[in-house]
Structure 1
Amino acid sequence: MSTMTDPRTPAAAPAEATRRPHLSGMTWLVWRQHRAAYWTLIALTVAGLAGIAWRRSVLTDYLAPYGWPHLKSDDWVQGFTAYSQQLSQAGLALSFVPILLAVFVGAPLLAPDLENGTAKLIAAQSVSRVRWIANKLVITGLLLVIGTTLLSVAYAWWWEPAKSQAGWTESTYFDTTGPVPVALTLFLVAAGVLIGTLLRRTLTAMVVTFFFAVFSEVVWSLTRLHLGTPVTLATHHAAGLPGQSPALPAGAFEIDSNYVTGSGKLMGWGTCAHEADEKAVEVCLRKLDVVGWSTEYLPVSQLSTMQWLGAGILFVLTAALVAVIVLRGRRRLV
């Protein structure tokens, strides 16, 4: 039988040419195992971005009659209350995202495998435990970084038309823009993963992770302002009385304000507040030789520096947690 082929018939395309990019090996296994959590993260991120884009359009529609994007006066501030509440509520919701991710993504990343014995099966295969853990951490971390970065940028974009009204030292802005949400998320999720490997019980690990994440957020909120370098603004009144407290630059956050005596000693702003009337207060201040004010504040120009410094600390802590997870997985995972 002849084996000749019709030259007019096109040759079959190589099998490699018809292949499409797809996951394989350990990457496919990790995605398959956690696909519900991963797709939920992607869907919520897309929904969040869509909601922010819509709300920003509503905000710019409100500002348009006042000359947006070149606002010529502050008249728009009077009717901004409702929009400010929406921004604050959204910021509050975003500030809880790292906690939720730590509980529902971090803690269950390895704990179920240790609880039901899957980790022993993995350890018996040709793939090393370190590679298995690394794949889980890398894939999960990559999705978290992309999602939180997009939400952070989008939320800052929403605030941008009314940035002058943003309480930049509050968690609803400081912790939800710039690199901070990414750093907080990675740190808390890594902590959740480590807690899961230590406790080896999924539900228990989720509960402990929740309390740890809440505690960490509280500690972070107490240390946030210490990331900046306070600036001191002092005044001296020629008549020998303090006069009015100094006017701070726009957007500045006041830390503390004190009276200053002629010798340079600081006294609390409540000094002489117990006096019966204004005249008595003046007499009291003269007796104490109070001549001016000293006010400490953080300028808004330090926002980016404070955020990156805080994020850097959290990134270092995250790296330390990941190192512990990997070392423990290499030695005592099963």
Structure 2
Amino acid sequence: MSTMTRTGSTGGPAPTGTAPAEAGRGRGPRLSGMNWLVWRQHRAAYWTLLAATAVTVAVMIYQRQQMMAYLDGYGSITGLKAGWEEKFDHQKPLSAASQLIGFAPVLIGVFVGAPLLAADLENGTAKLVTTQSASRVRWLGTKLGTTLLLVAVCTAAVSAAFTWWWSPVKSSSYVLDWSGAAFDSSGPVPVALTLFTVVGGIAIGMLLRRTLLSMVVTLGFAVVVQVVWAYSRMSLGNVMTLTTDKGVGEGSSPDVPAGAYAMDEFYRTASGDLIGWGSCAEATEKARDACLDKAQVVGWSVDYIPISQMSSMQWLGASILLALTAGIATFVILWGRKRLV
């Protein structure tokens, strides 16, 4: 009986080093272990997020090119000629994009954050994980880390594209009011708001352990976050005051800096007191003038926040949101370490 001692189609011995070379051919960076497991489990949500980001950024780049083609006829970015706003029709795409970015924290929090742990707890996957060699902390850390990193990268890309698109016309309130949707759609704010909402959804899912219920509660949580943020974001700025003493007639309005957000305005009396501008909202002009004379009104007082504070306000607000996000993420890890199943 003979034994086969040769390999290969020619019957000759295999060249030295061929097997390792062939085994390593075509190999690149690949996920493995817990990272591979988490990506495999949530690949549909992750790929959807990446694809939506790519499409959104591409559309913004195209829209920016179209806008700049129009603005080139009115001078440079830093010195646009008067009249450029008359036929400017790009405010609608900018407004639509800012609204889309505003909805992103809600959608990502509900469809990515809430089911992340709730689904595993509901279908028993979490219990299976605890029987394996990997620790709960490692499993939770990988889930949170992979998800939050992907969310941060995607929202940062969209925010950067929107900021680049809007920046040439940001000083004009005719295009987009910086104190509203534009504030939440540019800079670090979209990243911080989305991460906070997603981590909140993850914590809700961990506590409720039911996917659908967690998504509904996360939706309510996300809406509350948006409302509270909308009412508090302007409090991040340093309010400045401008006063006049040239009366309150026609043409006497205070000349606040271009693009400034006027928070409130008052009548200013000779004694320096402030009264509401609606205090003399009389039916006739004669009655109004009599009211103003009686109150000894000499001018205006306007509280405003200049657009130059926008960046510092965004970073301050984002820092607060990121600190809260870190606190909730720590709670998820500590709670899940002992009470996950």
* TM bucket normalised to smaller: over 0.9
- The Cα of 1:14 is off from its aligned counterpart by 3.5
Query: How far apart, CA to CA, are the structure 2 residues paired with 1:272 and 1:232?
Result: 22
1:290 to 262, 287, 297: 297
Partner of 2:133: 126
SS in 2 for 1:101: helix
Instruction: Say whether residues 1:180 and 2:189 are aligned partners.
Output: yes
Query: Residue type of the partner of 1:14?
Result: P
Instruction: Say whether residues 1:53 and 2:70 are aligned partners.
Output: no
Partner of 2:143: 136
Query: How far apart, CA to CA, are the structure 2 residues paired with 1:275 and 1:121?
Result: 75
SS in 1 for 2:162: helix
Query: Residue type of the partner of 2:95?
Result: S
Residues 252-271 of structure 1 deviation map (CA, whole Å, 9 limit, x = unaligned): 01001101111111111112
Query: Residue type of the partner of 2:20?
Result: P
Greater shift after overlay, 43-52 or 281-290?
281-290
Query: How far apart, CA to CA, are the structure 1 residues paired with 2:291 and 2:208?
Result: 62
The correspondence of residues 195-210 of structure 1 with structure 2, limited to 5 A, is: 195-210=204-219
Partner of 1:21: 29
Query: How far apart, CA to CA, are the structure 2 residues paired with 1:117 and 1:218?
Result: 35
Query: Residue type of the partner of 2:160?
Result: V
User: Can you give the 5+ residue segments of structure 2 that lack an aligned partner in the other structure?
Assistant: 7-11
Residues 191 and 262 (structure 1 numbering): CA distance in 2 closer, same or farther, change over 3 Å?
A: same
Partner of 1:221: 230
Residues 293 and 69 (structure 1 numbering): CA distance in 2 closer, same or farther, change over 3 Å?
A: closer
Residues 104 and 8 (structure 1 numbering): CA distance in 2 closer, same or farther, change over 3 Å?
A: closer
- What is the total number of aligned residue pairs between the two structures? 327
Partner of 1:313: 320
SS in 2 for 1:79: coil
1:92 to 89, 99, 106: 99
User: Can you give the 5+ residue segments of structure 1 that lack an aligned partner in the other structure?
Assistant: none
Residues 170-213 of structure 1 deviation map (CA, whole Å, 9 limit, x = unaligned): 1x211111010000000000000000001100011001101110
The answer to whether the 8 Å contact 2:61/2:165 transfers is: yes
The answer to whether the 8 Å contact 2:71/2:80 transfers is: no
Partner of 1:12: 18
Query: Residue type of the partner of 2:39?
Result: W
Query: How far apart, CA to CA, are the structure 2 residues paired with 1:8 and 1:89?
Result: 64
Query: How far apart, CA to CA, are the structure 1 residues paired with 2:319 and 2:14?
Result: 65
TM-score normalised to structure 1 length: 0.93
The answer to whether the 8 Å contact 1:199/1:205 transfers is: yes
The correspondence of residues 158-197 of structure 1 with structure 2, limited to 5 A, is: 158-165=165-172, 166-170=176-180, 172-197=181-206
Residues 9 and 235 (structure 1 numbering): CA distance in 2 closer, same or farther, change over 3 Å?
A: same
Partner of 1:268: 276
Instruction: Say whether residues 1:79 and 2:117 are aligned partners.
Output: no
The answer to whether the 8 Å contact 2:262/2:302 transfers is: yes
SS in 2 for 1:236: coil
Query: How far apart, CA to CA, are the structure 2 residues paired with 1:286 and 1:331?
Result: 72
Query: How far apart, CA to CA, are the structure 2 residues paired with 1:118 and 1:175?
Result: 37
Query: How far apart, CA to CA, are the structure 2 residues paired with 1:72 and 1:313?
Result: 36
C-alpha RMSD of matched pairs (Å): 2.1
The answer to whether the 8 Å contact 2:171/2:307 transfers is: no
Instruction: Say whether residues 1:114 and 2:121 are aligned partners.
Output: yes
Residues 7-49 of structure 1 deviation map (CA, whole Å, 9 limit, x = unaligned): 9956436367544211100000000000011111111010001
- The Cα of 1:68 is off from its aligned counterpart by 4.1
Query: How far apart, CA to CA, are the structure 2 residues paired with 1:69 and 1:259?
Result: 37
The answer to whether the 8 Å contact 1:103/1:209 transfers is: yes
